Amino acid sequence: MFKDFKLKIKNFVDKLRDLSENKKKIILWSIVVVLGLIMGYFWVKSVILKLNNLETTNLNIEILSDFDSNSLGNSQNLENNQVQ
């Protein structure tokens, strides 16, 4: 089985060697474009996911900062009322 696979690869490489330079370049650039599109897809998907996580994190920080400032203001008001 492995010998058969090795023979098929050798025949494929021999066919590629026999092609003209223009056809070799077309095959090369086709492979580069396809791989670039696949990598671009995963990159865009990753960026969208990270931006969604960032928005969620910022929302949590805003809510927590509002909560902290309100609780701080309330505790200061209570202290002022107790002093008077």
User: Could you give the CA distance from residue 56 to residue 54 in angstroms, rounded to a whole number?
Assistant: 5
User: Could you give the CA distance from residue 55 to residue 44 in angstroms, rounded to a whole number?
Assistant: 17
pLDDT in tens, 31-81: 999 999 999 999 999 999 888 887 666 666 666 666 665 555 555 555 555
In our burial notation (b when 16+ CB lie closer than 10 A, e otherwise), range 31-58 reads eeeeeeeeeeeeeeeeeeeeeeeeeeee
- pTM summary value: 0.55
pLDDT at residue number 14: 93
User: Radius of gyration (Cα) for the chain, nearest Å?
Assistant: 32
Residue 16 near residue 24, CB atoms below 8 Å: yes
